[in-house]
Amino acid sequence: MKKLTLFSIFLAAVVIILGAYTRLTDAGLGCPDWPGCYGNLTVPLSEEKVLQANAAFPERPVEAFKAWNEMIHRYFAGALGLCVLAIAIIAVRQRDKGTPVKLPLLLLGLIIFQAALGMWTVTLNLLPVVVMGHLLGGFSVISCLFILYLRLRNTAGGAPKTKQAPIASAMHVQGITDLPQTKTFQRNLKLFAFVGLGVLVTQIALGGWTSANYAALACTEMPVCESGWQERIDIAGAFSVPDADNYEFGAHDYGERVTMHIVHRFGAVVTFLYLLALGINVLVSRNATNKQKYVSAFMLVALCTQVALGLSNIIFMLPLAVAVMHNAVAAVLLLSLLNLIFTVFRILENDQVFNSEKQSKAPFSVSEPLQGAYRKQQAFRNKQAFRNQQARNTSLHESEYASLLGSFQDPLSGSTSSHILPKALGGFHG
């Protein structure tokens, strides 16, 4: 199941890249129906099938390049759906072995909803809300798969959680001696990492909204936009859905697209500064583990790469390869932040296991009344054992003394006497 999950992560990454490529090549409606393409399982290529397709959809004649982009994306998405279904079935069958069940079932429901969003993307003619939701759904699927893989890898095939190394051992390896301070740092890191996750997801949603409304090139100058952008700001219009029969190539006016682009830029600055501060804080802290520092360093590299790709999109007028990589690195950045959060959960969870083990080894250290009762009981047992030992010693001495007397023989008659002293010559009895 772990290998299947890892393969599904790779497949989900391919689907995200293909989805971005399909959107950026304006192939979202390359096949105007769903799930087939002009009523076929593949793109119609023969002259007869092309004529039939054009007759069935006269408003959208066949464009083989765009149609293949759309269908290849659907093929890979379908394969991902089958993998997620297999993961859910395996999880249910192996639930008695400690295999996670809720997350695979959540993944199955998510992939079904994602398929519905893909259908609505076509049937609703690229409605921006649906397109952005489809993008976020893809990121959600790969995130859940990644978390499932981390759980499967860290449980080592379903091993009990209590067998994992406690926090004291992990901190000892790092040379950290102030354990309370370390736990405080980990709890604070958990909070700030979750805030960073919210900031990053919001920024990804802003990027999806900008792309879905074809506003990526609304501003082509730095650092904000062309001169006079302040007069064009329209927040309400930028984040509304205008009435239109077809949303291909956008339905908002120029001022609303400028607003989308500027908000996305400001969101990029906020996201960059926050995640930069978070990553540097982990790197310089002596209360962070080596793994957390490694994950933070990787996150910072992905963050800087993402900013460079975003700037390249503006400077070089949205090159296709750069725009696709901008989507892919956003997914990598999201997964690295999730990995950092997962390490915090593992440390805090191991700390709880360690504390419970300590309490189970000292059951009478819970409260003073229990300690007093335990001491009294031990004192009574010790006194009783001492008395029993004295009784055994006394009985032993008496038996040895009787044996000594019984073995004393009369020197004249050779008979055994029960008297303490033998009869003397002329005796004291005479």
pLDDT in tens, 202-213: 999 999 999 999
Reported residue count of the chain is 430
The answer to whether residue 164 scores a pLDDT higher than 80 is no
Over the stretch 166-207, which tens digit does the pLDDT of each residue have? 444 444 444 443 478 888 899 999 999 999 999 999 999 999
C-alpha pair distances (Å), 362 with each of 142, 165, 351: 44, 20, 17
Q: Tokens standing for 304? A: 């800087």
122, 32 in Cβ contact below 8 A? yes
Give the pLDDT band (50/70/90) at residue 151. very high
Listed in sequence order, the residues at least 6 apart from 315 whose beta carbon sits closer than 8 Å to its beta carbon are 222
- Confidence (pTM): 0.78
| Percentage above 70 pLDDT, the chain | 76
CB atoms within 10 A of CB 326: 22
Number of C-beta neighbours around residue 381 at 10 A:
10
Kindly name the residue from 70, 221, 226, 357 that is annotated as catalytic. Answer: 70
Read off the amino acid at residue 256.
E
> If DSSP codes are grouped into helix, strand and coil, which group holds residue 34?
coil
**What is the Cα–Cα distance from 390 to 218, expressed in whole angstroms?**
100
φ, ψ of residue 226 to 5 degrees: the values are -65, 160
The two structure tokens encoding residue 413: 């008659």
Closest by CA to 133, choosing from 214, 74, 30, 209, is: 209
70 is catalytic: yes
